[in-house]
Structures are given as structure tokens and as C-alpha cells.
Structure 1
Amino acid sequence: MLGPKQEAQGALFYEFLIDDHVPQDHLLRSIDRFVDLSSIRRHLSEFYSHTGRPSIDPELLIRMLLVGYCFGIRSERRLCEEVHLNLAYRWFCRLDLSDPVPNHSTFSKNRHGRFRDSDLLRHLFEVTVARCISDGLVSGQHFAADASLIEADANKQNSTPKEKWDRSAIDPADAPRAVKEYLEVLDDAAFGAATAVEPKFTSHSDPSSQWTAARKGPAFFAYSTNYLIDTDHSVIVDVEATRSIRQAEVRSVRTMLGRAEDRFDLHPERLIADAAYGSGPMLDWIVKQNIKPHIPVLDQAGRKDGTWSRADFDWDAENNQYICPEGEALKQFRRNYSDPNRGPSGKGVAKYQALKHTCQVCPSKMKCCPKADARQVARDIAKTKQYAISMRLRKKVEMLFAHLKRILGLGRLRLRGPCGANDEFLLAATAQNLRKLAKIFPAPQQTSEA
């Protein structure tokens, strides 16, 4: 029998609770248990005027941003539409059915104003990390570090080659916000001061972004997001935005390790990273911090720091040896072998070394091998079973980057400038830690009474 036609009839009164329409196993129910925004109003109080019209609750804006980054909704206009329509989003944002959703322009005003001036997003991230530590997800023993390229909101058509780029012609008074930030970070080790080499192209809209072809494909403008994670449960302990060049990325690890110790009293027993972090100066710094470098050694024959390189040693073909600048002989073997492969290395590798007691008293030792001890520490660690385990643990950082781009949708930035990149990276890392907490400690399921 064909039923009657369904027609919507508006009622005068409704009995409706949003909580009843949000599934018990919804991800936001689990995340909501770990979102602590109790300190936000106190943190922002000095950035609001004591007179005038009351502002929109900053907690509401932060909750909406967390929804957007947890579910890959990074367009603020679309985020407002989704919160308006989705009951679960309204429940998480503490909005009733009749409560209006803030305008999308409000986010821009607060992001580029109060939130940035007060460093609120950094504060929010660290509160989440503190919660992970208190719940036992961070031991602080084994850290891993890596960087990943994130495409900037810039293109080659709106750029200038390095031969024609003249930063002195920029008028800071008339420059856009991203260009002003570029001028402010020219002496920052993570951006302008990372290297003296000028990029091949400089973007007009976002000059701090780096023109790079690191992906072995078409070049593009990008920033690097740098993660420092605890390998126990892949919790992101710190995050830093830098230019997409190795010098800036390596330097950021020092910043993140120092900040983790200052804020959370975390000092790892080992640091796991790839060969990009295995330079002599970096290994030397890590060893001096009493951290074991589980890092492949980056071997560079040529040096630019004033120390001797391979070219400074003279080759004596007749005696099969090198002569160092101090006149000492570096020999491959100290005894004769009929087969070179039967030498001390046993692998057919030609190693030329001076006598140990000669090197120890050499007045030019610091010019010859200033970081040799740190490199040797890393090489000795590479022979252990723990090192093999660390190389597997390092993949956890790469998995977080894959999750960042595929699940959270952060393959391209929407905000420009170093501050914009830093804001997006902080929010994304906060969302990943909250999702991690929700996965490990899901909300308890409520059984309905019969």
C-alpha cells in the first residue's frame, strides 16, 4: 500500500537536544575530553579593550579552527558553513540551534591580530603536549626529527629572478603583510639568515617562501614544517616553520630541543634523524648536549669552515700514502698485504690514517678533525642493534607527515608569510596530537537503558 506523501510541517515548539543527535562513537566526543581552553581568556585578556562592544568568545573561534584542522576543512568560509549545518560541529563548538555562527572574516581579524600577538596558537599547542605528557604518552627518552615541504600560496608567474630582485626597493609602509614579515625575518636563522645563497626566484606575494625542486620534479615555492616527536606514541613534542633548505631545517632541531627542555623539562637520551642532520657541527652539538646521535654521518670531502679538506693533503703515489700539511704520513696499512682486500677494513675500502700518538700531540688537530670525535660516536652507534631499531622508529615522523597531507589536507598553505605558515603548522600539529589522544583514549560508550 502506498503511504501518504511526506510533507514538512513546522511545529510551534520543539524539544531538541543536540547531544542526543551526536553519535557516541563520533571522533569529536573523544577529542572534546582533551581540549582544555580554560586559560585562553586569561591569556588574551590584555589584548582586548576594556570598553566597546563585547567580542566573540575566543574559545568559540579556537574550537571552530580545531574542527577545521581535525577534519581537513581549512577554508574559513566553508568552515562556517559546515559548523552551521553539522550538528556534531555545533555540539563541539558549544552552539545551540539558534546560535549564530561567526562570520568568516572574524577569523582573519583574530589570526592576524590578537592570536598572533599573544602567541595563542603556540600556547594551545603546548597545553595539548602537556596533556599528552600527563597521560603517559611521552617518556622523553627517544626523540625523532624530520622536515617536510608544504607548498606555499605563491606561483612562479608572480615572481622575480634573483638577478633582478632588489629588496631595498621595497617600501615597508606600502608593503603587504607577508612582505613586511619577510623584511622582519631577514636576520632570522630560520629564514633570511639561514644561508647567504639567494634563491633562483623570489615570490612577490610571499618572498619568505623558498623556490625549491627538492621533490625531484617541477620546482615550486614552499615552506618546511619541522617536527620533533617522541617515538613512544608518535606525539609531536614541538613544531617549527622554516625555509625549505637544509641549513634552516637542521638549525630548527636545536631550537625545538631547547624549547622542549625549557617548557617540559624533556631531555632525550637519543635523537633519531636522517643523514641531512649528520653533518660534523650538528653531531658535535648533539654529543655536547649528552644526546646519542642515531643519525647517519654526512660525509663531505670539501669543507668551507676553515678546516682542512682532502685537497689539503698531498698524495705520494710512490709510497702509497698521503702527506698532511704538518708533514706527517698517512698510510693505508702499517704492514704488507698481498691482497689489499685483506687489510684492516676487510671491505676493500682504502683508509689512510696517521699514527694515533702523532695526531694527539699535533698542534693543528682542530684544523684537521675538529668534529671527528662526534662523527666517530655516530659511526659507533650505527653498528649497534639499537641503531637499527631507531631507523625503523624514524618512519613514524614520515607517517605523521603523510597523515598531515592526506588526512588533514595540508598539502598547500592558505596563509602567507612566516607567521601564517607557523600558525597553520601549529594548528595542524595540535589537531594531530588531539586525534592521537582520542584514538588511544576513546570516549566511553554509553549503553541505552532497556
Structure 2
Amino acid sequence: MQGKKDYQEKLFAQFQLSERVPDHNFYRRLKGVLDLEFLYKLTRPYYGDSGQKSIDPVVFFKLCLVGYLENLISDRDLIQHSSMRLDILYFLGYDIDEPLPWHSTISRTRQLYPEAVFESVFTQVFGMCVAKGMVSGHTQAIDSAPVKANASMDTLELKVPKEDLEQHLQRIRHISAMDKDVAPIRQSKANKAPKSQQEISASAGELQAIKSRNKKWRKDQDQRQVRVTKAPSTLPIKPITVPQIPMPELV
């Protein structure tokens, strides 16, 4: 017989978060290893004696650790991701009906502590993990960043390139010349005008007279004023077109 699950929220439910997180869960194991009570004494100088209570320093550094382990660089994403994970809520010490700190609180607290506090927390947390056997030495992993060793200067050897710069450039030019495509030569269009019109038959005086007339005509066009008559409000305004006087052609 086929079954069908019907979901209906209960008004009251008996739920215990520790029963939902298995014993082999990473964050449950980490919760049993880390003893971060020293953070209260370490961060006490950065708080005043009055005002509203801040976020618990232990909760803050646990959230920073979760962000590193889950590869979350946004405080907003960190809070949203942690609120949906039962094991992370158990690691932080929050129940499912307790709201997590606001993401802006995480950002302001991170700016409050100096770098020395974070380094001290990292050193002590790492020591706790090593003491409890969570960090073993049989496997090592490094990133892909090459780091130069602090080698002895007496053992240095001069590395000579296979070819100098000039030889390399000559080889590059030779290969580039072989791969270069020959650009097609574009032929100019033939002059289809009659042969009698391909040469200037006017004299120098006639050319100067034509040039003077053209110059005077351009000056008159610049000084000409176009009178625009306002059209009645009941009629649409039509654009006024100024006739263009053709330029004299050179024959």
C-alpha cells in the first residue's frame, strides 16, 4: 500500500537539539574539544563597564571559525547559513528558537579586536586540536603558492637561459613574418570623366575670381538673418525651410 506523508505544524513540540546531532559530527566533536573560557579574560579590556551587553566573545570566535570552515566570507551569508544548520547551532550554543546575532554585530566586533587577539586565539585553538588528536602528522597539504626556501648562499648556482634576448626576439620576428598574411592590394577606381574635364582649363585669374566669389557668398550666408513669424495658437507650427543656393562649380 502506497503511503503519503502529510505535514502539519504542531503548536507544541518536544525537541532536544543534542539528540538530532550525531556523535561523529565534526562540529559536535569540535564543541567537546574547544575550551574557550580564556576569551572572556582576553577580550575584557576592549569593553566598558556600562551600556548594553555585547555579543558573547566565545560565540563571535566560533562564528569566525565556522565562516572559515564553510568558506563563507560574507557575514550575512554566515548568519543565514548557520541558522539552517542544526550542528552549527549546537556548536554555537543556540537552540532552534533562538535568533542568532545580527550580521552587522559580527562586522563591528571584528573591527573592535586587534590582530593580536585573533593570533592568540588561533594558536590556542590549534593547540587544543593537536592535543585531542584532531590534527595528525601523517598527511600534509599545502596550497599551490611557490615559496622560496631560505637556502645557503654558498650553494647557489647561476641559471643561464638557453638563448639571450636578441636571439629570442629574432626567432619571434622570423615566426611572425612566416605567419603574416599578405594584404591584398586595393586598386583605385578608374576616372570615368571625359578627358577634356580631367584637366583644369581656367587661368589663374579666373580661379582666383571664383575663390573670391565663394568666400563672399559664405560671408553673406553667415550674416543673413532669418525672420521667424509666430504662428497662431490654433495652427500647428511648421518649420521654415531656407533655400540653399548652389555653389558655383569649377569647370
1:104-115 matched pairs, under 5 angstroms: 104-114=103-113
Q: Which residue pairs with 2:125 in the alignment?
A: 128
State yes or no: 1:58 paired with 2:57: yes
Q: CA separation of 1:299/1:94 partners in 2, compared to 1, >3 Å: closer, same or farther?
A: same
Q: Which residue pairs with 1:40 in the alignment?
A: 39
Using the alignment, how far apart are the partners of 1:91 and 1:121 within structure 2? 23
Q: Which residue pairs with 1:363 in the alignment?
A: none
Residues 142-175 of structure 1 deviation map (CA, whole Å, 9 limit, x = unaligned): xxxxxxxxxxxxxxxxxxxxxxxxxxxxxxxxxx
Give 1:73 shift: 2.6
Q: How many residues align?
A: 158
Residues 219-276 of structure 1 deviation map (CA, whole Å, 9 limit, x = unaligned): xxxxxxxxxxx9666499xxxxxxx9x9xx6xxxxxxxxxxxxxxxxxxxxxxxxx64
Q: CA separation of 1:112/1:278 partners in 2, compared to 1, >3 Å: closer, same or farther?
A: same
Kindly indicate which of the two structures has a greater share of residues assigned to helix.
2
Q: CA separation of 1:16/1:232 partners in 2, compared to 1, >3 Å: closer, same or farther?
A: same
State yes or no: 1:278 paired with 2:151: yes
Give 1:86 shift: 1.2
Given that 2:18 and 2:90 are in contact with CA atoms closer than 8 Å, whether structure 1 keeps it comes out as yes
Using the alignment, how far apart are the partners of 1:129 and 1:9 within structure 2? 43
Q: Which residue pairs with 1:16 in the alignment?
A: 15
Q: Which residue pairs with 1:75 in the alignment?
A: 74
Give 1:24 shift: 2.2
Q: CA separation of 1:52/1:94 partners in 2, compared to 1, >3 Å: closer, same or farther?
A: same
State yes or no: 1:299 paired with 2:157: yes
Using the alignment, how far apart are the partners of 2:105 and 2:26 within structure 1? 26
Using the alignment, how far apart are the partners of 2:90 and 2:63 within structure 1? 11
Q: CA separation of 1:231/1:300 partners in 2, compared to 1, >3 Å: closer, same or farther?
A: farther
Q: Aligned-pair RMSD on alpha carbons? A: 3.3
Residues 288-333 of structure 1 deviation map (CA, whole Å, 9 limit, x = unaligned): xxxxxxxxx442489xxxxxxxxxxxxxxxxxxxxxxxxxxxxxxx
1:142-161 matched pairs, under 5 angstroms: none
Letter in 1 for 2:73: R
Using the alignment, how far apart are the partners of 2:158 and 2:125 within structure 1? 40
Given that 1:279 and 1:299 are in contact with CA atoms closer than 8 Å, whether structure 2 keeps it comes out as no
Q: CA separation of 1:102/1:14 partners in 2, compared to 1, >3 Å: closer, same or farther?
A: same
Kindly indicate which of the two structures has a greater share of residues assigned to strand.
1
1:290-369 matched pairs, under 5 angstroms: 297-300=155-158
Letter in 2 for 1:89: I
Q: In structure 1, list runs of 5 or more residues that go unmatched.
A: 139-229, 237-243, 250-274, 284-296, 303-450
Given that 1:132 and 1:235 are in contact with CA atoms closer than 8 Å, whether structure 2 keeps it comes out as no
**Where do 4+ consecutive residues of structure 1 move more than 3 Å?**
1-5, 132-138, 230-236
Using the alignment, how far apart are the partners of 2:91 and 2:126 within structure 1? 20
Letter in 2 for 1:6: D
Q: In structure 2, list runs of 5 or more residues that go unmatched.
A: 161-251
Q: CA separation of 1:110/1:276 partners in 2, compared to 1, >3 Å: closer, same or farther?
A: same
Letter in 1 for 2:123: E
Residues 330-374 of structure 1 deviation map (CA, whole Å, 9 limit, x = unaligned): xxxxxxxxxxxxxxxxxxxxxxxxxxxxxxxxxxxxxxxxxxxxx
Given that 2:33 and 2:132 are in contact with CA atoms closer than 8 Å, whether structure 1 keeps it comes out as no
Residues 189-209 of structure 1 deviation map (CA, whole Å, 9 limit, x = unaligned): xxxxxxxxxxxxxxxxxxxxx
Residues 64-104 of structure 1 deviation map (CA, whole Å, 9 limit, x = unaligned): 22122122233221110111111111001000122111111
Q: Which has the larger radius of gyration?
A: 2
Q: CA separation of 1:235/1:124 partners in 2, compared to 1, >3 Å: closer, same or farther?
A: farther
Q: CA separation of 1:23/1:133 partners in 2, compared to 1, >3 Å: closer, same or farther?
A: closer
Give 1:42 shift: 0.4
